[in-house]
Amino acid sequence: MDRSALAYNHAFTLCITIALAFALALSSCGRAPSSSEALAAADPTQGNPAPNELRTETRDGLLGTIVTISAYSDSDSAFSDCFGAIADVDRRMTANAADSEIAAVNAVAGKKAAEVSDDTHRLLLLARDIYEQSGGAFDVSIGSVSSLWKEDGKFARLPERSEIEAKLPLVSQGGIVLSEGNTVRIDKAGAMLDLGGIAKGYACDLVLERLKEHGVSGAFIDLGGNIYAHGRKPGGKKWRVGIRYPEIGDDAVACVLNVSDRAVVTSGGYERYIERGGATYHHILDPKTGYPAESGLRSVTIVAASSTLADALSTACFVLGLEGGKQLLEKYPECEAIFITDDNTLYTTDGLGGQVEITDSRIKLG
Ligand code: ADP
Ligand code: MG
């Protein structure tokens, strides 16, 4: 199924990808599975033949989402190395499998430290930094609460308030002790790590590294809404990335930006959600309440050279809201953002001024 293609055909003549950052968990709401759908097909309307064909491969299920890599490359090993790198991150960092590094740390919480790989340790250090900079809006120790909202690893359950209240005191990045020798210790028994807000971004950066190692000079990576536009298309054109209209069940494109060598990562309340008793609950949680963040934003998109950073900051900004998010981004001058508020007003950080094309008349420029 490729609903994004409809938007593409109507609206654009260039390649475009719709940042549809929702995945299999959506099926819990009765919707068909979907994910970021790369539409970066070679443009038949362009007369100039590309130096290479754009080849697209998709895998479903890695890091709980659908991954699509489109690259100007005919190297089988380039693609298999990329998917292998994502599978490796999934294996080590998922909280959902009993044998991952993160599960091993969680299993001995309150008792002892566990050793993790260099990568996981470094990622946890970065997560701690973003926790500090964001005043706790981004907190990978959310696991004890986020797991209450999940069934079989998918966002699919509405917990009782009493369950959330019981677990909330365990959400405390301060209780995660990172020591030399790549050890991680969780102070409180029952506290848990959840890298769901940063692991896809990290995997995306690894894919980029692999592509560069294989000499690929143009590619479009999409890990469930974590987009990376690498290099340029044949003829030197930048990639066009569409940001989805941020409403459940509406696949229109809110705006488009032209980018090269940039991660474009969106967090939105329409991505993974459940409906219960007429109310909708999405999967980005406010660590202070344990409930879905209600900050006046419908989506936040971060544009940055690092996908890892963009992933964590998009989650943090979504929790913080427009003003708090802008303040946070002042500490990250290399990152730009597009905020869409509950009343459909679009704001950008100064560095994106004029680069965002609004493509849906329901969206106003703030
Ligand atoms: P997506 O995974 O859909 O791209 P995000 O990057 O915003 O969306 O990450 C949301 C995921 O991160 C949740 O599914 C959960 O695993 C975890 N998470 C939820 N709230 C937070 C938070 N405040 N800080 C860190 N991680 C969070
Ligand atoms: Mg994120």
Instruction: Dump pLDDT digits (tens) for 233-263.
Output: 988 999 999 999 999 999 999 999 999 999 9
What domains are defined for the chain?
3-87+198-365 (3.10.520.10), 93-186 (1.10.3980.10)
pLDDT of residue 53: 87
pLDDT of residue 52: 66
Ligand 1 center to 284 CA (angstroms): 5
pLDDT of residue 50: 41
Q: What is the DSSP letter of 348?
A: E
Nearest-atom index, ligand 1, CA of 286: 23
Nearest alpha carbon, ligand 1 atom 8: 267
pLDDT of residue 119: 94
Question: Given ligand 1 and candidates 273, 284, 286, 295, which is best to mutate, with the most ligand atoms within 8 Å of its CB?
Answer: 284
Q: Nearest ligand to the C-alpha of residue 222?
A: 1
Say if ligand 1 is within 6 A of residue 201 CB: no
For residue 200, give the amino acid letter: K
Question: Are the beta carbons of 8 and 39 closer than 8 angstroms?
Answer: yes
Say if ligand 1 is within 6 A of residue 196 CB: yes
CB atoms within 10 A of CB 268: 29
pLDDT-flagged residues of the chain (< 50): 1-51
Question: Given ligand 1 and candidates 62, 283, 289, 319, which is best to mutate, with the most ligand atoms within 8 Å of its CB?
Answer: 283
Ligand 1 center to 196 CA (angstroms): 5
CA distances from 242 to 109, 281, 304, 356 (A): 42, 25, 16, 10
Say if ligand 1 is within 6 A of residue 138 CB: yes
pLDDT tens for 302-355 read: 999 999 999 999 999 999 999 999 999 999 999 999 999 999 999 999 999 888
Ligand 2 center to 256 CA (angstroms): 20
Ligand 2 center to 46 CA (angstroms): 35
Cα separation of 87 and 76, whole Å?
Answer: 16
Per DSSP bridges, beta strands 55-62 and 65-71 are antiparallel
Say if ligand 1 is within 6 A of residue 227 CB: no
